[in-house]
């Protein structure tokens, strides 16, 4: 095996989320996990039924569909056209209307449109420094004053670095995933080569994610016009601390 690169492949996310990678993600998230996350979102966004919520990036709409069933209006944005097409088909067949857009996560054309927003699936930090800040600013513009925004961030330094393994392997739904990772402390980025194996298919795809500390992320949110409100380590509201499973950071638009 070759050495893991330490330079971010330009726009790597544009060529990652299709085919076997999406099949693995579908198999990896059980329904009870989605329901627990939807419970957390519903409680902490504090949007009244009928309110408009932005899901970015939305994937195949697993959380959007759960929240629509609870009486909210959902708009989903994702760059993965395969996932958006799947969500559109499900929306048409099931009668659960979700407004869906194939867009990059910074490309949010709305102004003060939504009562709440969330970014789940550990989807924050893919971009470079400027791009990550632009995403937060775009969400801020799209939200109404005082609206809440939740980021689900598994790559936060306090959760990721104490337990980081350079090589990991998983088997879910008939797909084996081998992950080889390298943390670059000078860039504060995690570089990972994911190899998906299914039958005769062997598909390796590079990825990269910025590893912010809690304080750094809170600072970015503040710069974008948010005020952090609460931090949790799980959808069951465990406190966020060193070696937490993830960071669920709730913030409020203040400007």
pLDDT-above-90 percentage for the chain: 90
| Same domain assignment for residues 104 and 176 | no
- Statement to judge: residues 94 and 170 lie in one domain: no
- Whether the pLDDT of residue 35 is over 80: the answer is yes
CATH number, domain containing residue 67: 3.40.50.150
Confidence of residue 4 (pLDDT cuts 50, 70, 90): low
Does residue 3 form part of some domain? Answer: no
Q: Specify whether 227 is located in the same domain as 127.
A: yes
pLDDT mean over 115-124: 97
**What's the alpha-carbon Rg for the chain, to the nearest Å?**
18
What pLDDT digit, counting tens, does each position of 124-140 carry? 999 999 999 999 999 99
53 within domain boundaries = yes
Q: Is 6 domain-assigned?
A: no
- H or E element in which residue 122 lies: none
For the chain, what is the mean pLDDT? 94
Same domain for 197 and 134, yes or no, is no
Give 73-119 as a DSSP string: EEEEEES-HHHHHHHHHHHHHHT---EEEE--TT----SS-EEEEEE
Whether residue 32 sits in one domain with residue 104: yes
If asked whether residues 170 and 123 sit together in one domain, one would say no
Average pLDDT for residues 59-83, to the nearest whole number? 95
88 and 29, same structural domain? Answer: yes
Same domain for 116 and 25? yes
Cβ atoms 233, 221 nearer than 8 A: no
Residue 7: per-residue pLDDT: 61
Q: What is the pLDDT of residue 147?
A: 98
- Determine, yes or no, domain membership for 231: yes
pTM attached to this predicted model: 0.94
Q: Residue 147: give the domain boundaries.
A: 12-155+212-253
Stretch 49-69: mean pLDDT: 96
Q: How many domains are there within the chain?
A: 2
Lowest mean pLDDT among 28-32, 40-44, 143-147, 190-194: 28-32
> At which of 176, 191, 208 does a domain end?
208
100 plus 198 within the same structural domain: no
pLDDT digits (tens, 9 = 90+) for 164-220: 999 999 999 999 999 999 999 999 999 999 999 999 999 999 999 999 999 999 999
Q: State yes or no: pLDDT of 6 exceeds 80.
A: no
> In the predicted model, what is the mean pLDDT of residues 35-39?
98
Residue pair 102/59 in contact by the 8 Å Cβ criterion: no
User: 149 with 227, same domain?
Assistant: yes
Angle value at C-alpha 151, between 7 and 140, nearest 5 degrees: 95
Question: pLDDT category, 234, cuts 50, 70, 90?
Answer: very high
Output the six-digit token pair for 43.
């409680």
3-class secondary structure per residue, 180-228? EEEEECCCCEEEEEEEEEECCEEEEEEEEEECCCHHHHHHHHHHHCEEE
């Amino acid at each position: 095996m070759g050495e893991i690169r330490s330079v971010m492949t330009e726009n790597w996310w544009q060529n990652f989320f299709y085919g076997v990678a999406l099949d693995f993600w579908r198999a990896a998230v059980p329904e009870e996990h989605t329901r627990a996350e939807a419970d957390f979102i519903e409680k902490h966004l504090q949007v009244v039924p009928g309110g408009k919520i932005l899901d970015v990036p939305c994937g195949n709409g697993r959380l959007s569909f759960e929240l629509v069933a609870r009486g909210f209006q959902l708009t989903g944005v994702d760059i993965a056209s395969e996932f958006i097409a799947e969500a559109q088909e499900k929306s048409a067949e099931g009668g659960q209307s979700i407004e869906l857009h194939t867009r990059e996560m910074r490309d949010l054309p709305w102004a003060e449109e939504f009562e709440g927003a969330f970014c789940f699936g550990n989807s924050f930090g893919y971009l470079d420094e400027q791009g990550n800040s632009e995403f937060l600013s775009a969400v801020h513009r799209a939200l109404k004053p005082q609206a809440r925004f939740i980021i689900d961030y598994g790559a936060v330094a306090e959760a990721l670095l104490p337990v980081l393994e350079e090589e990991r392997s998983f088997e879910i739904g008939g797909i084996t995933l081998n992950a080889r990772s390298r943390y670059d402390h000078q860039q504060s980025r995690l570089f990972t080569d994911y190899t998906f194996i299914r039958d005769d298919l062997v598909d390796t795809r590079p990825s990269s994610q910025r590893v912010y500390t809690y304080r750094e992320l809170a600072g970015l949110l503040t710069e974008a016009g948010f005020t952090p409100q609460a931090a949790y380590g799980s959808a069951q509201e465990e406190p966020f601390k060193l070696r937490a499973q993830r960071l669920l950071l709730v913030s409020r638009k203040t400007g």
